[in-house]
Amino acid sequence: MKKPPFRSYSPNLIQEPAVYRLNEAVMHFGESIKEIINEDFGDGIMSAIDFYCSVDKVKGVDGKERVVVTFDGKYLPYSEQKSEAMVSKLKQRSKISLS
């Protein structure tokens, strides 16, 4: 790797064949992966902040080289956030009741 990776999106990047195929694979299998995550962990998502990605080369059963891409992200369960539980609203209420 000659340049460090970047966290942005360039419309030209998707035209690069390897990036296009990787995007295609994620889009094709994304819904199934999401369902498996929800089955195994419950409702939630994989973090893209606390995240590692590795790329490995293995030999397939036919002896040909294969690419293994591993996404390793922290699981974040969904949590319902109710406005009445907001700290700022609780502080406002206590100020009003003290007045």
Q: Which CATH superfamily is domain 46-99 in?
A: Cyanate lyase, C-terminal domain (3.30.1160.10)
Confidence of residue 96 (pLDDT cuts 50, 70, 90): low
Helix (H) or strand (E) holding 28: helix 17-41
Phi, psi of 72 (to 5 degrees): -120, 95
Residues forming the active site: 21, 24, 47
pTM (global) more than 0.85: no
The whole-angstrom separation of Cα 20 and Cα 28 is 12
Residue type, 19: V
Which pLDDT tens digit goes with each residue over 27-75? 999 999 999 999 999 999 999 889 999 999 999 999 999 999 999 999 9
Q: Supply 78's token pair.
A: 């969904």
Domain ranges (residues) in the chain: 8-42, 46-99
Query: Mean pLDDT, the chain, as a whole number?
Result: 86
